[in-house]
Amino acid sequence: MRDGTRMVADEVPVAIVHDGATYAVMMASPADLTDFAIGFSLTEGIIDTPDEVDDLELVETDLGWVVRLWLSKRPRAALTTRRRRLTGPAGCGLCGVESLGEAVKPARPVGAGRPLTPLALATAFDAMSQQQALGRLTRAAHAAAFLAPDGSMTVREDVGRHNALDKLIGALARTGIDTTQGAILMTSRVSVELVQKAAMAGAPILAAVSAPSTLAVKLADDAGMTLVAVARSDGFEIFSHPHRIQPEQEQIRVA
């Protein structure tokens, strides 16, 4: 045993406030918070586009961060019926949901998308790992990435996998990237809420390094989404709608 130092990931409370009322308080990494608030608002169904946010303000306090959003008329009305006050740990995607039906609601159906080759998928996971600056420094952060048809990639990180995906979805929406023609990659297992969030973004392919739950597989299948998991250097497994992955090598296993 020897003394030493290491980088530790920041984790702070982040309050998301719509029109003066706190909608959620999440434990998150204090980076890309504009993307986080926009993405969270999109995946919660509060807004349909970033244009429905009239203004946004980031406020740092002694306890954490407050992200204040002022909404246009349409989402303001929807918020009245959708509101949930919650405190969510970094690993929680459904904390505070008031009914079982809300927790297991069907994922939004996705479109046809474009096929993806195994080589392109493997290359994308390698490229994502190279862009995980926080993960390399701390070994305590998840990443979510979007692979566009032209091979370009957008990556966001957070201590929570749901937060990372919300940040990614917010970043994509703010820059106008078409999520219906690419694939979302995750460094985590595949949970129900990740399928729901990816479907809200319109992504036809969701791929992750760890295995999915049974309900996640069902939701992805019902939504028409291609779900790829257990992605490793020697192959991966396809759990739903394998037609979007064009086989090139025998290492592909259809579960």
The residues, any chain, with a CB within 8 Å of residue 199's CB and separated by 6 or more, are: 107, 108, 109, 110, 219, 220, 223, 225
Query: How does DSSP classify residue 202?
Result: T
* DSSP state for residue 213 in the 8-state scheme: P
CA torsion 209-246-195-150 (nearest 10°) is: 90
Please say whether the beta carbons of 16 and 24 come within 8 A.
Answer: yes
Residue with tokens 């086989």: 247
- Asked about 95 being catalytic, the answer comes back as no
**Dihedral over Cα of 228, 229, 232, 235: its sign:** negative
Contact between 183 and 128 under an 8 Å Cβ cutoff? The reply is: no
Which of 92, 97, 127, 255 is catalytic? The answer is 92
What phi, psi does 101 have (nearest 5°)? -60, -35
Active site residues: 92
